[in-house]
């Protein structure tokens, strides 16, 4: 075992519960899984540092890493204060060796911030999706970027299915009638439809998109998909899938579109006024991928005009979203904060994956290929399959307005 010299690990996590940490848990534990659906093994760290089912994604949870890191002589700084020039993140970054962040409360590693951190050698995403890192700047500065592939994919799949049904069945207003003391059935069902028989498409058929397709088949819908890589013929036949070579073709054929592609320069603002205009009137968009894949003003306009019947998802740009973000107040939405991948089960897996990555890094062992996004000055591993070079962090400084 190689002994690593002392390093500074700067970790950005979302704040603790308003009612204090730890929360009262609704259940005594979580199910134990043996492997992911495609056979990939779950994270295999030598230790864990927490009990599965605990809230470890917030500041006090610290991903269960404190004892492990400080026990080896490393400095571990955890904060939720991440935005603006006076933030803890900005002040602690210049001498950091490793940065850990989450997609749900991202510490945006822009080119400007990377330039201020000459010692930075690794950026780890506790979860999936490393678009909060300027990948071009990471490549140019030989920074290794990793994420815990598949750790919370099924968590996101379940969230997407929930939001598809919430939109089509118009669940949120019906729930609100109950909360407000009403029994207004006519109002509650006037925008409620059956998913059965609809055309439903996914943009991106990777682990999450494919998981959504598999779970939608029993709903007796007509399934469509678009991806860089076409699925095997036998899979298309088994699920009854229609492949579309372009997103334009897919959206024009569907009543519901669920977005599951990564954010990079090629997908940034893909769903703009022009693309949305090609969708059927009264269609729905669910976006559990990345907020910036959609033009936020275009989405709001389409809901106001009625061209879109509903929009749901849990991803915004920037994150946290400023209080005046139009998606907070636009009509017929079913938005959540970025929670789809941070269920207590998802946290267990992505925290364990971060621990595995750190153990490999400190001991000089290779990091799993499926965890790599950039390495050695180039896209690598999962990154070479899913991302393109470039930067999608522009505008992230607006997140500071959330607490301003």
Residue whose C-alpha is closest to residue 247's, from 273, 263, 221, 224: 224
Residue pLDDT, tens place only, 126-173: 999 999 999 999 999 999 999 999 999 999 999 999 999 999 999 999
Give the pLDDT confidence score for residue 388 in this predicted structure.
94
What domains sit in the chain, N to C, each tagged with a CATH number?
8-151+342-379 (3.40.50.720), 153-335 (3.40.50.720)
Give the pLDDT confidence score for residue 403 in this predicted structure.
87
DSSP, collapsed to helix, strand or coil, labels residue 309 as strand
Count of alpha carbons within 13 Å of 336, Cβ hemisphere only? 21
Using an 8 Å Cβ cutoff, are 136 and 159 in contact? no
Using an 8 Å Cβ cutoff, are 344 and 56 in contact? no
Cite the active site residues: 152, 290, 319, 338
Sort strands 122-125 and 333-335 into parallel, antiparallel or unpaired: unpaired
Give the pLDDT confidence score for residue 1 in this predicted structure.
45
Q: Which residues pair with 284 in a beta bridge?
A: 256, 310
Give the pLDDT confidence score for residue 404 in this predicted structure.
75
Give the pLDDT confidence score for residue 3 in this predicted structure.
59
Spell out the per-residue pLDDT of the chain, length 404, in tens.
455 799 999 999 999 999 999 999 999 999 999 999 999 999 999 999 999 999 999 999 999 999 999 999 999 999 999 999 999 999 999 999 999 999 999 999 999 999 999 999 999 999 999 999 999 999 999 999 999 999 999 999 999 999 999 999 999 999 999 999 999 999 999 999 999 999 999 999 999 999 999 999 999 999 999 999 999 999 999 999 999 999 999 999 999 999 999 999 999 999 999 999 999 999 999 999 999 999 999 999 999 999 999 999 999 999 999 999 999 999 999 999 999 999 999 999 999 999 999 999 999 999 999 999 999 999 999 999 999 999 999 999 999 999 87
The shares of helix, strand and coil residues in the chain, as percent rounded to the nearest 5, are: 35, 15, 50
Residue 401 CA to residue 318 CA, distance in Å, equals 10
Helices 153-168 and 207-216, axial angle in degrees (round to 10)? 50
Give the pLDDT confidence score for residue 82 in this predicted structure.
98
Report the residue count for the chain.
Answer: 404
Using an 8 Å Cβ cutoff, are 303 and 278 in contact? no
DSSP code string of 169-236: TTHHHHHHHHHTT---HHHHHTT----TT-EEEEE--SHHHHHHHHHHGGG--EEEEE-SSPPPHHHH
Residue 104 CA to residue 6 CA, distance in Å, equals 28
């Amino acid at each position: 075992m190689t002994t690593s010299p002392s390093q500074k690990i700067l970790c950005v996590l979302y704040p603790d519960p308003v009612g204090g940490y730890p929360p009262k848990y609704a259940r005594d534990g979580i199910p134990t899984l043996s492997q992911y659906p495609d056979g990939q093994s779950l994270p295999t760290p030598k230790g864990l540092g927490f009990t599965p089912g605990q809230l470890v994604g917030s500041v006090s949870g610290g991903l269960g890493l404190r004892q492990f890191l400080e026990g080896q002589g490393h400095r571990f700084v955890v904060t939720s204060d991440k935005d603006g020039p006076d933030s803890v993140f900005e002040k602690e970054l210049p001498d950091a060796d490793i940065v850990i962040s989450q997609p749900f409360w991202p510490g945006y590693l822009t080119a400007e911030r990377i330039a201020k951190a000459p010692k930075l050698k690794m950026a780890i995403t506790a979860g999936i999706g490393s678009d909060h890192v300027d990948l071009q700047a990471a490549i140019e500065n030989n920074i290794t970027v990793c994420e815990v592939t598949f750790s919370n994919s099924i968590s996101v799949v379940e969230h997407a299915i929930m939001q598809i049904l919430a939109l089509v069945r118009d669940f949120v207003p019906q729930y609100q009638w109950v909360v407000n003391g009403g029994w207004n059935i006519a109002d509650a069902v006037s925008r409620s439809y059956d998913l059965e028989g609809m055309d439903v498409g996914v943009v991106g058929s990777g682990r999450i998109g494919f998981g959504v397709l598999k779970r939608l088949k029993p709903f007796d819908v007509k399934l469509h998909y678009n991806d860089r890589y076409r699925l095997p013929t036998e899979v298309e036949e088994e699920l009854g899938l229609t492949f579309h070579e372009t997103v334009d073709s897919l959206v024009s054929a569907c009543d519901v579109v669920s977005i599951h592609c990564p954010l990079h320069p090629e997908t940034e603002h893909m769903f703009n006024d022009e693309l949305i205009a090609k969708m059927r009137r009264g269609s729905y968009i669910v976006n559990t991928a990345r907020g910036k894949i959609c033009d936020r003003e275009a989405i709001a306009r389409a809901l106001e005009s009625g061209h879109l019947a509903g929009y749901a998802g849990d991803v915004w740009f920037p994150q946290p979203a400023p209080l005046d973000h139009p998606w907070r107040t636009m009509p017929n939405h079913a938005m959540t904060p970025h929670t789809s991948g941070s269920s207590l089960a998802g946290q267990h897996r992505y925290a364990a994956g971060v621990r595995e990555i750190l153990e490999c890094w400190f001991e000089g062992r290779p990091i799993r290929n499926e965890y790599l996004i950039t390495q050695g000055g180039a896209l690598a591993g999962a990154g070479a399959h899913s991302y393109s070079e470039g930067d999608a962090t522009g505008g992230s400084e607006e997140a500071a307005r959330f607490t301003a």
